[in-house]
């Protein structure tokens, strides 16, 4: 199997195996029913050290997702954290990296009784740059609604939940946009296909609350914590679609997207159509933090080497 990216070793159920051997059988339950949970984590190389950003918070969310679905896992949080660092070292990664822990319900008979199925755990690490190639993106408000927390526990990061994101993403791409914003079932702004959203209006940053049905994003929480250092305030509030159009700035935040300015929504230019000062300041500060240049936030970084 040809490699889709440069990584040589993958962690599988406690052992590090060569790329070619990190396999599951076609009767793996997760392939049929979306019964898997995952995380997306980044590690940043600053020329001297590789720092994993908020490793414990991501591992905690991983375990919470498993708990919500009652999948069970044969490893402790410490074993997964150590496994991540071990895999990064084994792959000799000294560059910016994306880390994908994945736990899927494994091999077994067809059907939904997953109780006796083994949870197969993988940790994939890969060199990774920007998720969006452009500095600022154009999005549409999707005609697909974000799955409601009455239908699925949206605070869990579950593989099956992402069919909703894939529908919205493909619709956006096919119409010439870079990504989509999804509204929730009440018609309020929820989040992107794999990002939380923030809006700047008159110098204040607004973001939908957890009760809007968003994923409790670690980047979002980080920004809420460090924004006051820049004299900025983040307020959680429900946002209407129309408010997006008159925002001074809009941006996506997330592990993959980091801080990505949105320059147009539904064809309407946001602000003056360029990357705004608040997005720019937050993005620069975010990268200083992830590179270990801000002492106050070294607490969020886990050194690999």
Of 119, 142, 219, 260, the residue at the interface with ligand PMP (CB under 6 A) is 219
**Region binding ligand PMP by CB under 6 A among candidate stretches 124-132, 215-223, 232-240, 294-302:** 215-223
What whole-number distance in Å separates Cα of residue 58 and Cα of residue 123?
Answer: 13
**Region binding ligand PMP by CB under 6 A among candidate stretches 114-122, 131-139, 192-200, 297-305:** 192-200
218 binds ligand PMP, rule: CB under 6 A? yes
What whole-number distance in Å separates Cα of residue 287 and Cα of residue 283?
Answer: 6
191 binds ligand PMP, rule: CB under 6 A? yes
Closest CB 55 distance from ligand PMP, rounded Å: 12
208 binds ligand PMP, rule: CB under 6 A? no
Q: By Cβ distance, which residue is nearest to ligand PMP?
A: 217
Strands of the chain, DSSP E:
9-12, 15-18, 36-38, 41-45, 50-53, 97-105, 119-127, 137-141, 179-183, 189-192, 196-201, 204-207, 234-236, 249-254, 258-265, 268-269, 301-303
Of 194, 208, 271, 292, the residue at the interface with ligand PMP (CB under 6 A) is 194
Q: How far is CA 193 from CA 168, 177, 254, 265, 297, in A?
A: 7, 13, 10, 15, 28
Closest CB 244 distance from ligand PMP, rounded Å: 17
Backbone angles phi, psi at 293, to 5 degrees: -95, -5
Of 141, 178, 143, the residue nearest 256 (C-alpha): 178
215 binds ligand PMP, rule: CB under 6 A? yes
Closest CB 217 distance from ligand PMP, rounded Å: 3
Closest CB 245 distance from ligand PMP, rounded Å: 22
Angle between helices 218-226 and 277-290 (to 10 degrees): 100
Q: Which residues contact 231 (CB under 8 A, 6 or more apart)?
A: none
Q: Where are the alpha helices (DSSP H) in the chain?
A: 29-33, 55-69, 77-90, 162-174, 218-226, 241-245, 277-290
**Region binding ligand PMP by CB under 6 A among candidate stretches 71-79, 130-138, 212-220, 294-302:** 212-220
Considering 157, 188, 264, 283, which one is annotated as catalytic? 157
Q: How far is CA 190 from CA 7, 126, 145, 166, 269, in A?
A: 34, 29, 9, 16, 20
Of 36, 106, 208, 217, the residue at the interface with ligand PMP (CB under 6 A) is 217
Of 7, 29, 196, 290, the residue at the interface with ligand PMP (CB under 6 A) is 196
SS3 (DSSP) at 67: helix
Of 19, 34, 40, 94, the residue at the interface with ligand PMP (CB under 6 A) is 40
Instruction: Give catalytic status of residue 157 as yes or no.
Output: yes
Closest CB 68 distance from ligand PMP, rounded Å: 15
Closest CB 54 distance from ligand PMP, rounded Å: 8
Active-site residue numbers?
157
Binding site for ligand PMP (CB under 6 A): 40, 191, 194-196, 215, 217-220, 254-255
């Amino acid at each position: 199997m040809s490699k889709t990216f440069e990584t040589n070793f993958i962690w599988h159920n406690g052992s590090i195996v060569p790329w070619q051997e990190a396999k599951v059988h076609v009767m793996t339950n997760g392939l049929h029913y979306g019964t898997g949970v995952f995380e997306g984590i980044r590690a940043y190389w600053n020329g001297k050290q590789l720092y994993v950003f908020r490793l414990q918070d991501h591992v905690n969310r991983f375990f919470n997702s498993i708990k919500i679905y009652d999948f069970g896992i044969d490893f402790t949080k410490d074993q997964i954290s150590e496994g991540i660092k071990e895999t990064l070292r084994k792959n000799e990664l000294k560059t910016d990296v994306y880390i994908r822990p994945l736990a899927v319900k494994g091999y077994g008979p067809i059907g939904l009784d997953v109780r006796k199925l083994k949870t197969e755990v993988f940790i994939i690490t890969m060199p990774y740059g920007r998720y969006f190639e452009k500095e600022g993106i154009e999005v549409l408000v999707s005609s697909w609604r974000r799955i409601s927390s009455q239908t699925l526990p949206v605070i869990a990061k579950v593989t099956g939940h992402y069919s909703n994101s894939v529908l919205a993403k493909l619709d956006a791409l096919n119409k010439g946009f870079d990504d989509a914003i999804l509204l929730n079932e009440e018609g309020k702004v929820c989040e992107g296909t794999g990002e939380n959203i923030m809006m700047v209006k008159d110098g204040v940053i607004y973001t939908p609350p957890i009760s809007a049905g968003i994923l409790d994003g670690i980047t979002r929480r980080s920004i809420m914590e460090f924004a006051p250092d820049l004299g900025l305030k983040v307020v959680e509030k429900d946002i209407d679609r129309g408010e997006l159009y008159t925002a001074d700035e809009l941006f996506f935040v997330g592990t993959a997207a980091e801080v990505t300015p949105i320059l147009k929504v539904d064809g309407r230019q946001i602000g003056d159509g360029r990357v705004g000062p608040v997005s720019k300041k937050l993005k620069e500060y975010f990268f200083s933090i992830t590179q270990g240049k801000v002492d106050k936030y070294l607490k969020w970084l886990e050194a690999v080497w």
